[in-house]
Amino acid sequence: MKAKHGDLFDKERVRSKQKNLRTLYWDVNKLIEVSGFGWDKTRCLVTAETSVWDDFITCVWGGTVRPSVPVSTGPPVDANDSSLQGEIDEEGEESSKRSQSQTPNSRSKKKKSSPCEVIAEAMAIVAESMRNYANTQAKASTALKKKCMELVSDLCLNGERGKDEIIKASQLFQNSAKAEMFMILEPEYRTQYLWAELEVERGG
C-alpha cells in the first residue's frame, strides 16, 4: 500500500484512522444507550424516555418539578438542545445550596451516580474523542495537501506547466476529496487528472 499510494496511505495511518473511528463509534453508543437514552434515526436526535427525563429534572431541580413544565407527555427530548442550560444551571445551584442547608452536619456518603451525572460523563468522553479525531484529521489533511503540492511543484520544475499552475492547484486541493484522489491515482495518471480538474475549474 505504501509503495502504491505513498507515505500518506501506509498501513499504520489507515489502522490509526480506523481505531479513532471505532473509539468514537463506541463512545457515541455509550451516550445514547445510557439510562434509557436512545437514537431517533429519522430525525437524527438523541431521545429520552419520559421516566428518564423525569429523573433528570428531579436530579437538576432537587426533587421539585414546576407545574408549568410538562414532563410526562410530548415528543422525545432532544439531548442536544441547550436552550434550557442557563435555567438548569441556576436551579441546580439553588438546589445544591438548599440541600446543604438542610443537612449541615450529615456525613458525606458515596452515592451511586445519578442519571444526569452519568450522561455528563458520557458526553465528556464523546467530546474528547471527537476533539482528538478532529485534530488527527486536521493534521492528516495538512500533510496530504503538502504532499500534493510537492508533486505539482515537481511537474512545474520539469517544465510541464508554469508557476501559475501551482497557485491554481493549491486552490483545487482545498477540496480534500480531490487531493485524496490525486494521491491515490498511479503517477502516470496524476498529471492528466490534475490538468483536467483545472480545466473544469476554469469553466472549460
Residue 19, burial from CB neighbour count under 10 angstroms (0-12, 13-18, 19+): exposed
Contacts of 36 (CB under 8 A, 6+ apart): 48, 49, 51, 52
Count other Cβ atoms within 10 Å, centred on residue 27. Answer: 19
What pLDDT, on a 0 to 100 scale, did the predictor assign at position 200? Answer: 84
The pTM (predicted TM-score) of the whole model is 0.38
Residue 38 DSSP symbol: E
Give phi and psi for 40, each to the nearest 5: -95, 105
User: What mean pLDDT is reported for the chain?
Assistant: 69
In total, how many domains does the chain have? 1
pLDDT higher for 137 or 59? 137
Taking residues 42-52, report their average pLDDT. Answer: 71
Looking at the predicted structure, is the pLDDT value of residue 191 above 80? yes
Looking at the predicted structure, is the pLDDT value of residue 66 above 70? no
Q: Is residue 184 a contact partner of residue 5, using CB atoms and an 8 Å limit? A: yes
- Residue span of the structural domain in which 129 resides: 2-202
